[in-house]
């Protein structure tokens, strides 16, 4: 039985990633060519740190998109005789046309580690940005009025935010992400509250801007309401009549917990920014013009707070990725079979001293993605401060 040498493994992996390299090359060369017209994104290429971060993040984004073309084997199927095999081992009795090797070896259930790592990126890159976006919607919708209005509203909301922040994250996860809690409906109630915020956000956004043009307003608000409530019914209550929007109960549980943990921090940042920006002249000018408070908050303050918020968005996706990994590490992941990075690390660590190749690929994958996001955020911060 022949197996690949280290160099052959590296070469094979590089070849497997071909679609990603092509996509990366196209995106980067186009971006650099049109650099001057792309605003903050274009300026990113002036900072070395930001460029490296962007490349790392794009690498994983493209990997998630082209995952089906990159994987060498099915991430869930087991091939007998491949249990805990070293990287580069030839598959025994490989079927005609199937890939001949386990590039990064087999795990303790004889599945291909390389393919599992690739498929794992998909789950992370869908859940982490989505959960972060939801947390931002909640944080912005509550933080803007708290910072702009101040007073009782601010006091109460800040008390609530501090309450959640004082809660040890890990304890909250252990309490919220258990199979028992699902049957009590607590995640659904939480989802019912948290998922409402994006709908409210967009309705208020369009209403405050276009209320003087009823025709336009009706179109925008109507579309938002139809789409938003449709998605809302499906995601929160699993009651979508057309079954387009649907979330596994376990996934919903995790998603809601992650949004819940992240929202108060976003709230605090937005509140601080709103308090700072509301003293500016252009806010006073808008008030003199007779604009309503929501218009000022959403169309004057929010656009001017975008720099720090974009930077925090990047950092927060990274943090959410770490949180998802933590959940997986404690066996609270999406589903026991799924190739989730955190869970794979947890499974691999039990055999770590004998078979170190089980845990390292997902660990390095998670690290490089978060590193990319952090570097990207740093580059963005550097460039947005220059403006």
Partner 1 sequence: MWAFILKRSGVMLLTALCLTFVVFFLTNLYPNLEKLAKTQGNMRMTDVQVENWLDTRGYTQPLLVRYGEWLGVVPSFRFTKDNGKVAGRCIKPGMDASVAPEYCGVLQGDFGMSSVFKEKVSVIVGKRLGLTGWLMLFVMIVMVPMALIIGVLAGMREGSKLDRGLSTFSIATTATPEYVSGVLFIVIFASSAVGLKWFKGSSASAMTEITFANFTLPVMTMAFYGMGYIARMTRASMAEVMTAQYIRTARLKGVSFPNIVMKHALRNALIAPFTVIMLQFPWLLTGVVIVETLFNYKGFGWVLVQAASNNDIELLLSCSVVAVFVVLVTQLISDIGYVFLNPRIRMS
Which chain residues interact with partner 1 by CB under 8 A?
49, 159, 162-163, 166-171, 174-176, 180-181, 183-184, 186, 318, 322, 325-326, 329-330, 342, 345-346, 348-349, 352-356, 359-360, 363-364, 366-367, 370-371, 373-375, 378
How would you label 125-160 residue by residue, b for 16+ Cβ within 10 Å and e otherwise? bebbbebbebbbbbbbbbbbbbbbeeeeebeebbee
Q: How far is CA 193 from CA 9, 140, 153, 186, 240, in A?
A: 49, 15, 18, 11, 17
Q: What are phi and psi of 349, to 5 degrees?
A: -65, -25
User: At closest approach, how far in Å is the CB of 231 from partner 1?
Assistant: 28
User: At closest approach, how far in Å is the CB of 381 from partner 1?
Assistant: 11
User: At closest approach, how far in Å is the CB of 62 from partner 1?
Assistant: 20
Report the C-alpha gap between 176 and 172 in whole angstroms: 6
Closer residue to partner 1 (CB): 142 or 324? 324
User: At closest approach, how far in Å is the CB of 160 from partner 1?
Assistant: 9
User: At closest approach, how far in Å is the CB of 6 from partner 1?
Assistant: 12
User: At closest approach, how far in Å is the CB of 199 from partner 1?
Assistant: 26
Question: Could you write out the DSSP letters of every residue in 4-31?
Answer: --HHHHHHHHHHHTHHHHHHHHHHHHHH
DSSP H helical ranges for the chain? 6-16, 18-33, 40-43, 48-65, 67-70, 113-149, 151-166, 169-176, 179-184, 186-194, 196-210, 214-237, 249-277, 281-289, 293-295, 302-304, 306-329, 341-349, 360-386
User: At closest approach, how far in Å is the CB of 214 from partner 1?
Assistant: 44
The answer to whether 349 and 153 are in contact (CB under 8 A) is no
Angle between helices 18-33 and 6-16 (to 10 degrees): 60
User: At closest approach, how far in Å is the CB of 8 from partner 1?
Assistant: 19
Sequence-separated contacts (24+) of 12-21 with Cβ below 8 Å: 12/101, 12/103, 13/103, 13/104, 13/114, 16/70, 16/72, 16/103, 16/114, 17/63, 17/70, 19/62, 19/66, 19/69, 19/70, 20/59, 20/62, 20/63, 20/66, 20/70
- The tokens describing 323, both together, are 């949180």
User: At closest approach, how far in Å is the CB of 162 from partner 1?
Assistant: 7
User: At closest approach, how far in Å is the CB of 386 from partner 1?
Assistant: 13
Closer residue to partner 1 (CB): 72 or 338? 338
- The tokens describing 231, both together, are 């998605």
User: What pairs with residue 106 in β-bridges?
Assistant: 112
């Amino acid at each position: 039985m022949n197996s690949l040498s280290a160099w052959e493994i590296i070469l094979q992996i590089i070849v497997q990633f071909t679609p990603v390299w092509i996509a990366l090359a196209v995106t980067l060369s186009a971006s650099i060519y049109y650099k001057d017209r792309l605003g903050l994104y274009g300026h990113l290429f002036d900072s070395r740190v930001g460029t490296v971060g962007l490349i790392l993040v794009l690498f994983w984004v493209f990997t998630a998109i082209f995952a089906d073309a990159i994987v060498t084997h099915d991430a869930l199927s087991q091939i007998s005789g491949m249990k805990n095999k070293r990287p580069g081992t030839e598959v025994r009795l490989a079927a005609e046309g199937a890939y001949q090797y386990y590039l990064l070896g087999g795990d303790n259930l004889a599945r291909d580690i390389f393919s599992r790592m690739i498929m794992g990126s998909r789950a992370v890159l869908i859940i982490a940005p989505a959960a972060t976006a939801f947390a931002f919607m909640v944080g912005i919708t509550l933080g803007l009025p708290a910072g702009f209005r101040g007073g009782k509203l601010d006091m109460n909301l800040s008390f609530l935010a501090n309450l959640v922040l004082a809660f040890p994250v890990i304890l909250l996860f252990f309490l919220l992400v258990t199979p028992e809690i699902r049957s009590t409906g607590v995640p659904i109630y939480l989802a019912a509250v948290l998922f409402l915020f994006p709908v409210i956000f967009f309705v208020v956004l369009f209403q405050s801007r276009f209320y003087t043009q009823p025709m336009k307003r009706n179109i925008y608000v109507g579309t938002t309401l139809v789409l938003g409530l449709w998605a809302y019914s499906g995601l929160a209550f699993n009651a979508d009549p057309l079954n387009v929007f649907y979330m596994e109960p376990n996934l919903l549980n995790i998603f809601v917990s992650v949004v819940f943990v992240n929202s108060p921090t976003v709230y605090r940042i937005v509140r601080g920014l709103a308090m700072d920006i509301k003293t500016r002249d252009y806010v006073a000018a808008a008030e003199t013009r007779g604009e309503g408070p929501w218009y000022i908050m959403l169309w004057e303050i929010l656009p001017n707070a975008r720099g720090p918020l974009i930077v925090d968005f990047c950092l927060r996706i990274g943090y959410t990725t770490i949180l998802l990994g933590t959940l997986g590490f404690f066996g609270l992941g999406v589903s026991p079979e799924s190739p989730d990075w955190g869970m794979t690390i947890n499974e691999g660590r039990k055999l770590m001293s004998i078979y170190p190749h089980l845990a390292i690929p997902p660990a390095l994958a998670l690290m490089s993605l978060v590193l990319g996001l952090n570097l990207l955020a740093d580059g963005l911060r550097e460039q947005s401060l220059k403006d």
